[in-house]
Amino acid sequence: MDVQAGLLDKLFAAGHLVETGVQGLYGRSGVFEDVIARFDALITRLGGFQDAEVLRFPPAMPRAWFERSGYLKSFPNLAGTVHAFCGNDHDHAALLECLSAGEDWTGQQQATDIVLTPAACYPLYPVIARRGPLPAEGVLFDLQSYCFRREPSMEPTRQQLFRMREYVRAGTPEQVQDFREQWMDLGQKLIGTIGLPFTVDVANDPFFGRAGRMMKATQREQALKFELLVPVNSEASPTACLSFNYHQDHFGKTWGIETATGDVAHTACVGFGLERVALALFRHHGLDVTVWPDPVREALWGAA
Amino acid sequence: MDVQAGLLDKLFAAGHLVETGVQGLYGRSGVFEDVIARFDALITRLGGFQDAEVLRFPPAMPRAWFERSGYLKSFPNLAGTVHAFCGNDHDHAALLECLSAGEDWTGQQQATDIVLTPAACYPLYPVIARRGPLPAEGVLFDLQSYCFRREPSMEPTRQQLFRMREYVRAGTPEQVQDFREQWMDLGQKLIGTIGLPFTVDVANDPFFGRAGRMMKATQREQALKFELLVPVNSEASPTACLSFNYHQDHFGKTWGIETATGDVAHTACVGFGLERVALALFRHHGLDVTVWPDPVREALWGAA
């Protein structure tokens, strides 16, 4: 805990993160944003050979898509639903009375048809599905968005709102496994380029509750998820900065995505935790970006 | 209505916006995002003389700040509160049963301490306040974030999640009024540079309910809000793409922001509706950015 609080406090003191009173919800300095933008651009350059289709979704998605995605089965505790006031003048007066009396005014809020995006790729699958069967070579998308996960924490690497860049591949099992293999190599090259120490290991998602235990074990046994880990908060428990995920036919079945030959499509994605990589850079290279090692500065900002 | 649906359908057909089934919630193509990024960079260049402090907040803010801001008094209907599941295995089973039976599962969701950001500057004022009295020359900030407003609509310019760039000035009444005057000029220059027709007019915010009527009238009488309007959905009711707002001492009083001489600080902001400007560009220059007029392409992408 000391190490974690230490890094967060240093980032507040340097102004790179701005405290809001809510754990895991921070403002960012211009310098912090620039580091994110430069790393994001570095991913784009590294992935440029792929000819991916760029799509950008806002930080929330339709509740109907969210419900169908299966997220609530696995991670109900992490989701954020968006609620709104639907009343009249009279209800408004009651709301303001609650508010000024310091009482809870949120009871009147009603669920809208919108849910915060839990991972950049969640709004993508229904869009792929409605375009019809995939071409023979499959498809590849380039995504980035703010994502929400309800897990308040003092670890700066565990934020409730953070940005995730992703490449998502859909096609035959062979196509998507090749894609994942390739990015497991490229991801290591990428993180090496910016001078960060890392390991790669098999991993599992934080599936909820008792039923989740079995899902974690299965996911590990089948080696469906790998993470690239960098020590940020502590040496003992390094932070997953990139992940390489093979979903098998989960999203293909859920959304009815078909390959060119009419089989259920498989999908895989590589995800880049942009805030986490920025934090790893500040942790390893220092709070002053102007004195970061030359090769790192060259990789991010180009030759001086 | 025909004109509005027409533009939205054209944007869907061209792939610049991606339909999600929820009005005002759309994906964006890479080209659309590039137009936004280029216009955003153009604002930065135009505003570069100012030496503004760059801060970026995520698309949500602390509920405590939101409650104190006064937003619920004026615009309760536009706010989006974030709710989460706080239950155990048993509650999870009940949630999944509701979901599979097609019943409402959102009743269990509880309000968190997080609310979607309604305007880019809302998280800024408490941050200014806690830094203590302003310097004699006042302060100036550069902000941008996704914002949420609960107003589903078929007009592509009225989105529930959209990006707002802002410059915010705090200081003496004279300092902030000078700032607003200056940006009313610069804003017109900016929009002229990208070849859009516009008018500037006094305006009011959409204050809620019966009490709101008086607030709208007062705001107009005192000329506290001006908008730069561009015809997008229709010639008859042009769209506010920029706004120039003088808040008087509203935020200064609310947050206890003091000038160097101990008076309540005044604030003003200029807001740029990034999606609205991008839509105006597509509406006036066509769906193919490669054939936009040369001066517009030069302003956005630099000399060819």
CATH number assigned to the domain comprising residue A290:
3.30.930.10
Q: Are residues A263 and A150 in the same domain?
A: yes
Residues B69 and B110 in one domain: no
Shared domain check, B92 and B216? no
Tens-digit pLDDT profile for residues A219-255:
999 999 999 999 999 889 999 999 999 999 999 999 9
Out of B18, B77, B142, name the one closest to residue A127 (CB): B18
pLDDT mean over A29-56: 97
Q: Is A92 on the interface with B (CB under 8 A)?
A: yes
Q: Is the pLDDT of residue B231 over 70?
A: yes
Residue pLDDT, tens place only, B20-79:
999 999 999 999 999 999 999 999 999 999 999 999 999 999 999 999 999 999 999 999
How many contacts (CB atoms, under 8 Å) link A and B?
186
Q: How far apart are CA B114 and CA A162, in angstroms?
A: 14
B17 vs A contacts (CB less than 8 Å): none
Contact criterion met (CB < 8 Å) for B30 and A53: yes
What is the 3-state secondary structure of A174-222?
HHHHHHHHHHHHHHHHHHHHCCCCCEEEECCCCCCHHHHHHHHHHHHHC
Interface check for A25 against chain B (CB to CB < 8 A): the answer is yes
Domain that holds residue B195: 3-80+118-301
A60 to B161: CB separation less than 8 angstroms, yes or no: yes
Q: For residues B20 and A189, what is the distance between their CA atoms, to the nearest angstrom?
A: 36
Which residues 253-292 of B have a C-beta within 8 angstroms of A?
A: none
CB A162 within 8 A of CB A275: yes
- Residue A24 C-alpha, separation from nearest chain B C-alpha, in angstroms: 11
- Say yes or no: A130 and A266 in one domain: yes
Count of other CB atoms within 10 angstroms of residue A272: 25
- Are A267 and A251 in contact, with CB atoms under 8 Å apart? yes
* Local confidence band at A25 (pLDDT 50, 70, 90 cut-offs): very high
DSSP string, A130-181: HT-SPPTT-EEEEEEEEEE-----SSTTS-SEEEEEEEEEEE-HHHHHHHHH
Which of B29, B50, B112 to substitute to test the interface with A, most A CBs within 10 Å? B112
Shared domain check, A185 and A230: yes
Which residue in chain B is spatially nearest to A84 when comparing CA positions?
B80
Q: Are B258 and B112 part of one and the same domain?
A: no
Q: What ipTM was assigned to the predicted interfaces of this complex?
A: 0.96
Q: Does B109 touch chain A (CB under 8 A)?
A: yes
**What is the model's pLDDT at position A1?**
42
Question: Do A91 and A182 have their domain in common?
Answer: no
Of A30, A59, A61, the CB nearest to B54: A30
Q: Kindly list the residues from chain A whose CB atom is less than 8 angstroms away from the CB atom of residue B61.
A: 20, 25
- Does residue B121 register a pLDDT over 90? yes
Contact between chains at B27 and A127 (C-beta distance less than 8 A): yes
**A267 in the same domain as A141:** yes
Residues B87 and B195 both lie in one domain: no
Q: Do B104 and A111 touch (CB under 8 A)?
A: yes
Q: Is A98 on the interface with B (CB under 8 A)?
A: no
Last residue of a domain, one of A116, A141, A174: A116
Residues B93 and B199 in one domain: no
CB B139 within 8 A of CB B53: yes
- Indicate the number of domains in chain B: 2
Check CB contact of B114 with chain A, cutoff 8 Å: yes
pTM over 0.80: yes
Considering the domain architecture, whether residues B97 and B69 belong to the same structural domain is answered as no
In a shared domain, residues A188 and A254:
yes
